């Protein structure tokens, strides 16, 4: 519109996702300007930016409470490790958490020396609960119970075994800290973590492995009452909300005998069924149960191979999962100058672990 021929015209400046910052109105020869003032900002209130929303969404996503039955099914396999030990639940509201309930109820049965749980608060100081000699004591913390806070790290240094369901969004950082302080642990998390380079390397070095009780399917977690439920994966019972989460696993560095049992293989190698990658000297195996029992070389297998992994039967050499080639992660030389993902006839396959038989 031509401003000179109109009675009224309006122009915005700095228009964008956040709305206008200034507004200019022309009425004939009058030119009036308005400057946008953010009242919230003037009053020192926090603005609802995209970042805040993402943070809120992320923290809501972190609020998944593990069911007692899932905790029982897993911890049953480690009873011998707990006798005389100090157990730390460092991402647990003891008033909500079934981890606290489990160890509290089984304190004598497991022969625990001490149980400690720290509660996390976003922006204020929090508290810890300690149980020893039958007494439970609540003490204020100086900090907010963040597992990374100096106060919680001091507790971590003194304990023997850490058990919890840490925030999914901080999983990488969480496990790195446990390794740094050389702690034994049993924690639950998403199988997406398999492909984080730092975590994959721990699997490859046999410093961590999957727990006993979950190797497929999904699990149900309780969520806060204000959690938005989506139809298929959630339910409400007696006012309590539950959400089914796909691909969760227990991660641990406590050994149990079943992970040393051989995985039964029935297939034999033939070049038609197991083509080689264009860019790696390795054959492709689409399904873990089809790993040929007689192939001596490198094999690319799905990441879920970890569910069947016996370190005496197989050796994990590397992982080919991202476009950027890193010899350190992939573990075998790359052929050519193309995409570093495993390619067959120029086409990408899914992420693959590179493994080989140990005893052929």
Ligand X SMILES: C[S@@+](CC[C@H](N)C(=O)[O-])C[C@H]1O[C@@H](n2cnc3c(N)ncnc32)[C@H](O)[C@@H]1O
For the CB of residue 296, give the shortest distance to ligand X in the complex, in Å: 43
Return the structure tokens found at 169.
Answer: 């969004």
CA angle 353, 357, 360 (to 5 degrees): 160
Please report whether residue 81 would count as binding ligand X according to CB under 6 A.
no
The answer to whether 332 touches 298, Cβ cutoff 8 Å, is yes
Please report whether residue 63 would count as binding ligand X according to CB under 6 A.
yes
Owner of token pair 């992994």: 309
Q: Measured on CA atoms in the order 300, 302, 306, 307, is the torsion positive or negative?
A: negative
Binding residues among 167-186 for ligand X as defined by CB under 6 A: 167, 170
For the CB of residue 188, give the shortest distance to ligand X in the complex, in Å: 7
For the CB of residue 120, give the shortest distance to ligand X in the complex, in Å: 3
For residue 226, count CB atoms less than 10 angstroms from its CB and return exposed for 0-12, middle for 13-18, buried for 19 or more.
exposed
Please report whether residue 164 would count as binding ligand X according to CB under 6 A.
yes
Distances 262 to 113, 147, 293 between C-alpha atoms, Å? 36, 37, 11
With contacts defined by CB under 6 A, name the span among 86-94, 125-133, 200-208, 287-295 that binds ligand X: 86-94
Q: Total number of residues binding ligand X (CB under 6 A)?
A: 19
Pick the closer one to ligand X by CB: 92 or 291.
Answer: 92
Q: What span, in angstroms and rounded, lies between the C-alpha atoms of 15 and 1? A: 18
Q: What span, in angstroms and rounded, lies between the C-alpha atoms of 63 and 321? A: 29
Among 92, 115, 177, 299, binds ligand X (CB under 6 A): 92
Please report whether residue 295 would count as binding ligand X according to CB under 6 A.
no
Pick the closer one to ligand X by CB: 62 or 273.
Answer: 62
Quick count: other Cβ atoms within 10 Å of Cβ 114? Answer: 17
For the CB of residue 173, give the shortest distance to ligand X in the complex, in Å: 9
Please report whether residue 102 would count as binding ligand X according to CB under 6 A.
no
For the CB of residue 18, give the shortest distance to ligand X in the complex, in Å: 29
Residues that bind ligand X (CB under 6 A): 62-66, 91-93, 97-99, 120, 145-147, 164-165, 167, 170
């Amino acid at each position: 519109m031509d401003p000179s021929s109109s009675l009224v015209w309006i122009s915005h400046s700095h228009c964008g996702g956040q709305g206008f910052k200034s507004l200019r109105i022309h009425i004939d020869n009058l030119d009036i300007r308005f400057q946008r003032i953010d009242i919230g900002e003037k009053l020192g209130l926090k603005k609802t930016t995209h970042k805040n929303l993402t943070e809120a969404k992320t923290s809501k996503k972190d609020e998944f409470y593990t069911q007692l039955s899932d905790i029982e099914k897993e911890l049953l396999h480690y009873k011998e490790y707990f006798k005389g030990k100090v157990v730390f639940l460092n991402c647990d509201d003891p008033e909500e958490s079934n981890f606290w309930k489990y160890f509290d109820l089984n304190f004598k049965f497991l022969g625990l020396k001490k149980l400690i749980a720290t509660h996390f608060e976003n922006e204020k100081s929090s508290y810890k609960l300690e149980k020893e000699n039958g007494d439970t004591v609540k003490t204020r913390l100086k900090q907010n119970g963040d597992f990374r806070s100096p106060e919680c790290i001091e507790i971590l240094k003194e304990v023997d075994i850490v058990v919890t369901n840490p925030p999914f969004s901080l999983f990488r950082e969480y496990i790195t800290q446990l390794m740094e302080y050389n702690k034994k642990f049993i924690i639950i998390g998403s199988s997406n973590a398999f492909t984080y380079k730092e975590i994959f390397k721990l699997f490859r070095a046999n410093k961590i492995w999957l727990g006993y009780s979950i190797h497929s399917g999904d699990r149900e977690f309780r969520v806060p009452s204000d959690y938005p439920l989506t139809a298929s994966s959630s339910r409400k019972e007696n006012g309590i909300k539950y959400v089914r989460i796909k691909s969760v696993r227990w991660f641990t560095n406590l050994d149990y005998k079943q992970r040393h049992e051989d995985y039964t293989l029935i297939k034999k190698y033939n070049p038609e069924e197991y083509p080689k990658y264009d860019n790696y000297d390795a054959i492709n195996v689409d399904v873990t149960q089809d790993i040929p029992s007689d192939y001596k070389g490198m094999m690319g297998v799905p990441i879920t191979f970890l569910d069947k992994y016996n370190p005496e039967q197989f050796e994990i050499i590397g992982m080919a999962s991202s476009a950027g080639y890193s010899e350190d992660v992939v573990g075998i030389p790359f052929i050519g100058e193309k995409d570093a993902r495993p390619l067959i006839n120029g086409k990408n396959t899914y992420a693959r672990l590179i493994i080989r038989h140990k005893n052929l």
